[in-house]
Amino acid sequence: MIELTEDFLIGTYTNKTSKGMYRVTLDTDQERLVNVRLAVELLKPSYVQVGSNHWVYTIKKAADGKKGAGIYQLGETAADAKLLGEALFDGPSPAYLGLDEKRHLLFGANYHAGRIDVFKIGTDGQLTRTDVVEHHGEMGPRPEQEMPHVHYTDLTPDGRLAVCDLGEDLVSVYDVSDDGKLTAVSDYQFPSGDGPRHMLFGKDGQFAYVMCELGSKLTVLRYDADKGSFTHIQTVKTIPDTWTAHNGAAAIRISSDGRFIYTTNRGENTIAVWAVQDDGTVKHVQSISSEGDFPRDFNFSKDEHYLVSSNQESDDLVLYRRDPATGQLTLLQKDVACPEPICVQPY
């Protein structure tokens, strides 16, 4: 039996009207997003990860001001959501969560503290912080680079941890022990002011693709699994040379066949499509309007025939049809109201 609907979770800020994490249904028969509803009521669940057991890992802020990460089981309504475990501490909360289900670890990229937080996940969902690694290095020249800003922490194909530091223009690699301890392996230094934000690996694990927010660049690196290090292959701009207004590159995703990469531009307000060449380099295929302001994140449907995007400043979601052969996007639906959406995850 073919499923005609599937759900996405939407992480949000709660600075205006948002009440927490939301849920939206994609009706593939009607090719429409429907039924935007509250999934969990909580403060600033800005990033969301979903485990294979359907546990939902998210950023969490408590009423007493402490911040950290939490794990939830969702129900049919927000009232049915159950908190399984949490790890709270004083100071800023993470901006990104990476998940290692094999070693039962959760990695937090703590942007405002310039550090990595590592948590052990108990069988009952309880979280225990096992390591904290602070970054201290030379800052880039831009106003946004006044201190280290760890923006991404997730696994390499061989089980190490890759970390993007926007403040230091750095991608670092760490070895990870089973008990959640990190050991530094290598650093790759980007050109001053690029501001690496997020990254992903190609299908064969040989190439890494890094989204540089401040420079509006997509950089291709070759990954040496023996050394746990990177070398440069290619850098391209994610916006036209004619674009002179402010832009901040944001999200990056790759199709499961490894053929196409998608990136967003906040400022130009576009989603760019890139075809991956045989040598790992990328070629621009399309730039399509985000149909709203500040496209923070997006994600694919299960069959990757659809793409759901979020516009943070215009408080809406957008649905595109995706052509698996060409990678190109076609607008299906816009102006789907959702407050302060900044993260999109299939559920």
Are 271 and 263 within 8 A, CB to CB? yes
The arithmetic mean of pLDDT across residues 128-140, rounded, is 96
pLDDT tens per residue across span 268-327? 999 999 999 999 999 999 999 999 999 999 999 999 999 999 999 999 999 999 999 999
What pLDDT sits at residue 184?
A: 98
Q: Both tokens of residue 46?
A: 């800005």
Give the model's pLDDT for residue 112: 96
Nearest-angstrom CA–CA distance, 43 and 34:
24
Instruction: Using a pLDDT cut of 90, give the percent of the chain over it.
Output: 98
* Domains (range + CATH), the chain: 1-46+248-347 (2.130.10.10), 89-237 (2.130.10.10)
| Assessment of whether the complete model's pTM goes beyond 0.85 | yes
Phi-psi group of 30: left, alpha or beta (phi > 0 → left; psi -120 to 50 → alpha; rest → beta): alpha
Q: What's the mean pLDDT when you consider all of the chain?
A: 97
Q: Which tokens sit at 185?
A: 């392996």
Rounded distance between C-alpha atoms, residue 110 and residue 326, angstroms: 37
The model's pLDDT over 223-281, given as tens digits with 9 standing for 90+, comes to: 999 999 999 999 999 999 999 999 999 999 999 999 999 999 999 999 999 999 999 99
pLDDT computed for residue 319 by the predictor = 99
Sheet of strand 82-89, all strands in order from the earlier edge strand to the far edge: 48-50, 56-61, 67-73, 82-89
Dihedral of alpha carbons 56, 59, 61, 67, sign: positive
Helix (H, G, I), strand (E, B) or coil at 145: helix
pLDDT tens digit string along 185-225?
999 999 999 999 999 999 999 999 999 999 999 999 999 99
> What pLDDT, on a 0 to 100 scale, did the predictor assign at position 1?
57
What is the per-residue pLDDT for 64? 85
Reply yes or no on whether the pLDDT at 2 is more than 70: no
DSSP conformation class of 190: P
> What's the rounded Cα separation, in Å, for the pair 180 and 14?
31
What is the mean pLDDT of the segment spanning 123-145? 96
User: Alpha-carbon distance 111 to 195, whole Å?
Assistant: 12
Q: For the residues 10-20, what does the mean pLDDT come to?
A: 97
Rounded to whole angstroms, how far apart are CA atoms 10 and 342? Answer: 7
